[in-house]
Structure 1
Amino acid sequence: MKRSDFLYLSGLGLGSLMLPEMPAFARPIDPMAALYDGMDVKQKKQLADVALNAARSKGASYADVRIGRYLNQAVITRENRIQNIANTESQGVGIRVIANGCWGFAASNNMTKEDVAKTAERAVAVAKANAKIQAEPVQLAPQKGFGEVSWKTPIEINAFEVPIKDKTDLLLSVNAAAKAGGASFINSTCFAVNEQKYFASTDGSYIDQDIHRIFPSFVVTKIDAASGKFQSRKSLSSPMGMGYEYLNARPQDKVAGVVTRYKGRYDMLEDVKAATADANQKIKAKTVEPGKYDLILDPSHLWLTIHESVGHPTELDRVLGYEANYAGTSFLTLDKWESKKFQFGSKLVNVVADKTQPGSLGAVGYDDEGVKCKKWDLISDGILVNYQAIRDQAHIIGLKESQGCCYAQSWDDVQFQRMANVSLQPGKTKMSVDDLIKNTEKGIYIIGDGSFSIDQQRYNFQFGGQTFYEIKNGKIVGMLNDVAYQANTREFWNSCAAIADESDYRLGGAFNDGKGQPSQSNAVSHGSATTRFNGVNVINTARKI
């Protein structure tokens, strides 16, 4: 084994555990290999046509082919050390068919025409075997073919083109700044993902897409030697559907306040200095007194509450009980939608699903079954109006076409319904974070996401955070510790009393939203402006009951 190979393989140790998405058959590669051109589009089309023709010849009434190249990079540091650098690549083809009214799927990492044809034939055989026990045939919403089209994440700097040294220099400087500020421990990471995906179907689509995502992050911990107490604060970065330009914050990307808020791009060095100061302050902060408070929730916190209490329960497969893994089913049953009057939240609550939002993790041109992506309403003026559905679910809720939210984490995973970017719309009247605070008599301002729990119908929940500021008579009077709030989904969203305007709107999100069995990981963003919820129950997480 060459020394270079050993380094790449050993780098997969901790690195692979922390990678947001790790497709099957991922192999370690030289970082420069990520810049090599993948398979030519003409070659992809030839392979796709081989698969489609083979599937039809064996009796498939429909077939689609996904040819994928998936690149992942993780740079991981702690204090003054580089812990791991992992670079992986995975390539292969996944073929999905309908035969005898039933789905079949097969995949292979052998990319010859002969093997692709055999893989298509195997998918048809699987469908025919499944059809013997399926009660009703698949009803697939119609979808026009788009011919030969392409889409690319509108990046400025390809993260894979940035030298590893530049990334390690940045992360080590972040760690050094934390240590200089009194941090006891600091770890920092930078993840980058590139999905090169080609889709073709018997509908007549040949879609080539190049998708980029990035996630820089850190955790600062401070230990007080005298008391033995310790506190941590995570970064306020968000994973984004952007290139390395995300780490080049401009003056217009920063909004001053109790903490500096980042809108668009991110300053990692500035944030770690603030985080170190916050960790020091948290050690001295008083513990919260349980009771009812008005909560002002920053987008860096609220994204997770949206994800768990709005995003998951509006997934149609969960509503129908077809899916329950990881996040359970849903309390938003069809009768609530059919009534056209189920008051999910207050009239201020407008939530949209959007697969086109610039900079978001879920932004693509076309989903993984060849549907052009779009934006649609889920909650309108507080009323439940729609769900998230794909081609074989659309007829259940009377849709004439899919909403374009189908996704597979890799070429060897079958695509299924995944969460779109689900976001709370900003307020329609001019309102700043300062306005929200000054209009609050007894409240808590929560920044950053923390631990949480929620039941299997996405109804009763508890959420923590990173930093908590006490508000009295319209002013912030200090920091609090041990804060978590409890509510049920409907009660919580109906307590929504004020939302800051568009100028405060920001994205949060997750690289690794798990679903399915076998499990798959999806990257998804959730946007909002800072929002106030009145009279929410707050508990003290440090006190024994």
Structure 2
Amino acid sequence: MGLGALVLPKFAFGNPVDPSRFLNDGIDVKIKKELADVALNAAKAKGATYADVRIGRYLNQIVMTRETRVQNIANTESFGVGIRVIANGCWGFAATNNVTREEVAKAAERAVAVAKANSRVKAEPVRLAPQKGYGEVNWKTPIEINTFTVPVKDKVDLLLSVNDAALKGGANFVNSAIMAINEQKYFASTDGSYIDQDIHRLFPTFTVTKIDRASGKFETRKSLSSPVGMGYEYLKARPEDKVSGIVTRYRGRYDMLEDVQNATRDVEQKLKATSVQPGKYDLILDPSHLWLTIHESVAHPTELDRVLGYEANYAGTSFLTLDKWKSGNFNFGSKIVNVVADKLQPGSLGAVGYDDEGVKCGQWDLIKDGILVNYQAIRDQAHIIGLDHSQGCCYAQSWADVQFQRMPNVSLQPGKTPLSVNEMIKNVEKGIYIIGDGSFSIDQQRYNFQFGGQTFYEVKNGQITGMLKDVAYQANTREFWNSCTAIADKSDYRLGGAFNDGKGQPGQSNAVSHGSSTTRFNGVNVINTARKI
């Protein structure tokens, strides 16, 4: 059920197709330009002062297995055109999957009609940050192996071998999956841009479960993979991609078979682990865990539309209100906390050349030396925080959805002086080393939270003494990030992320990565999740 929930938001979109269709190139870029010009001209003829067009082909594949059988193989394709306009100072949007010159023109006219209808109740006109046109350009995820060229049988064989290794290692249950996405997106606007992009993403994952028959209790461990903006080469790990330690982790590329063997041993240890004693601990958080805490407590509250209350009905607001940013000295975290928004990082889920309103992507500071210095803003929000340009973080999950502000990659920067994980642990008297993400809870302002994990190791007097269980930590965002006392250097830096960050009404899904090195937080409150209150 958990795996299904992870998959549904993205993979429910599209029509089932034969996987061989994925190897077709789609329509020629010259035809895309002709169709885009039809839409732009039709919109201007009806009174639009601005228009943009997105012609999108979205390919999705998922292969799911459980124990010795294949549970599901799904291949979907979606193709259509979305047109956004400004007329009478208001936005309008329309879309069609009938991609002909006539229907594209009609959709553009509908978008203008929607904008004019909206203008009857507008409070103030849309103000777009200026944006130069780039002419005809293209961008492609730098992949080595297109996942869709790999036969489905090869993927099934890999997953069943993963399951087999878990079962031979003593697991009672195991499921595994490979999910792949290819977004072929063409953007054009009245600013003079014609941008063709080919974006690839991949997510291999599994969950291992072992039962203690005597007690009836069970433990699980998820994969330590990361969803990535890469091709199938991600599943071909090299020696330099492994990060050794208590648990082997991976950066760059991933060894799924080795990870499931480690996971099977981990669940055996988890069944025998000591239940944690509640209290204050110094936490050493691995990037495979910390990415989720960054996502919820840093990335979400710095979304400008959330700060402004646009998401209050669905996803909540933010404690990082504009007055805190305007003060210029709002203390978000300790002085070593530096958080950067980035749409360029190779291998990340959010890496693209241009966003979905034709803005060239880049990077910018959100938290600098512990101080809140910026938000995430798009063209119609930039003026609110005094910017003369968009930060290039606009996105729509499909051609049928209107684009809006979405989270870029948001990452904690590594420490500036050499520091290994072992050196960090040596200075901890009473602590817990946490690897992998788990369940979490956070309030509507992204302030008070609780996070679990996958595996937990007790640290006493600079030594790891054994595995713990039933661990979760509680804090508020400022208290937590101000307790940050050490960050490992760039040699330990790794990415985590999510394939399905939800936002908006109607809801949309966004893929985003978060990087960090292993990080220490002092004196954090830890609770025992198995104890009744």
Question: What's the TM-score, normalizing by structure 1?
Answer: 0.97
Give the letter for the 1:394 counterpart. Answer: A
Q: In structure 2, how many angstroms separate the alpha carbons of the residues matched to 1:87 and 1:373? A: 30
| Equivalent in 119, 123, 133 of residue 131 of structure 1 | 119
Give the letter for the 1:516 counterpart. Answer: G
Q: Which structure 2 residues correspond to residues 383-462 of structure 1 after superposition, within 5 A?
A: 383-462=371-450
**1:496 maps onto 2:447 in alignment:** no
**1:103 maps onto 2:94 in alignment:** no
Give the letter for the 1:191 counterpart. Answer: M
Tell whether the 8 Å contact from 1:16 to 1:86 is kept in structure 2 after alignment: no
2:315 — aligned with what?
A: 327
2:34 — aligned with what?
A: 46
| Equivalent in 439, 456, 460 of residue 472 of structure 1 | 460
Q: Which structure 2 residues correspond to residues 119-268 of structure 1 after superposition, within 5 A?
A: 119-268=107-256
| Equivalent in 352, 356, 360 of residue 364 of structure 1 | 352
1:353 — aligned with what?
A: 341
Greater than 4 Å deviation, 4+ residue runs: 13-18
1:339 — aligned with what?
A: 327
1:261 positional shift: 1.5
Alignment length (residue pairs): 533
Give the letter for the 2:97 counterpart. Answer: N
Q: Please state whether the residue corresponding to 2:121 is helix, strand or coil.
A: coil
Tell whether the 8 Å contact from 2:395 to 2:406 is kept in structure 1 after alignment: yes
Tell whether the 8 Å contact from 2:11 to 2:60 is kept in structure 1 after alignment: no
Q: In structure 2, how many angstroms separate the alpha carbons of the residues matched to 1:261 and 1:473? A: 24
Q: Please state whether the residue corresponding to 1:361 is helix, strand or coil.
A: coil
Q: In structure 1, how many angstroms separate the alpha carbons of the residues matched to 2:285 and 2:11? A: 35
CA deviation vs aligned residue, 1:104-125 (integer Å, no higher than 9, x gap): 0000000010000000000000
**1:374 maps onto 2:358 in alignment:** no
1:227 positional shift: 1.5
Q: Which structure 2 residues correspond to residues 62-77 of structure 1 after superposition, within 5 A?
A: 62-77=50-65
1:325–1:298 CA distance, 2 compared to 1 (3 A): farther
Q: In structure 1, how many angstroms separate the alpha carbons of the residues matched to 2:81 and 2:192? A: 18
Q: Please state whether the residue corresponding to 1:157 is helix, strand or coil.
A: coil
CA deviation vs aligned residue, 1:63-91 (integer Å, no higher than 9, x gap): 00000000000000000000100000000
Q: In structure 1, how many angstroms separate the alpha carbons of the residues matched to 2:2 and 2:405? A: 30
1:85–1:311 CA distance, 2 compared to 1 (3 A): same
1:15–1:329 CA distance, 2 compared to 1 (3 A): closer
1:79 — aligned with what?
A: 67
For structure 1, the residue ranges without an aligned partner over 5 or more in a row are: 1-12
Q: Please state whether the residue corresponding to 2:379 is helix, strand or coil.
A: coil
Q: In structure 2, how many angstroms separate the alpha carbons of the residues matched to 1:137 and 1:103? A: 9
Q: In structure 1, how many angstroms separate the alpha carbons of the residues matched to 2:315 and 2:162? A: 35
Q: Please state whether the residue corresponding to 1:215 is helix, strand or coil.
A: strand
**1:308 maps onto 2:308 in alignment:** no
| Equivalent in 76, 79, 88 of residue 91 of structure 1 | 79
Give the letter for the 1:179 counterpart. Answer: L
Tell whether the 8 Å contact from 2:11 to 2:76 is kept in structure 1 after alignment: no
Tell whether the 8 Å contact from 1:56 to 1:63 is kept in structure 2 after alignment: yes
Give the letter for the 1:231 counterpart. Answer: E
Pairwise CA RMSD = 1.2
For structure 2, the residue ranges without an aligned partner over 5 or more in a row are: none
Question: What's the TM-score, normalizing by structure 2?
Answer: 0.99
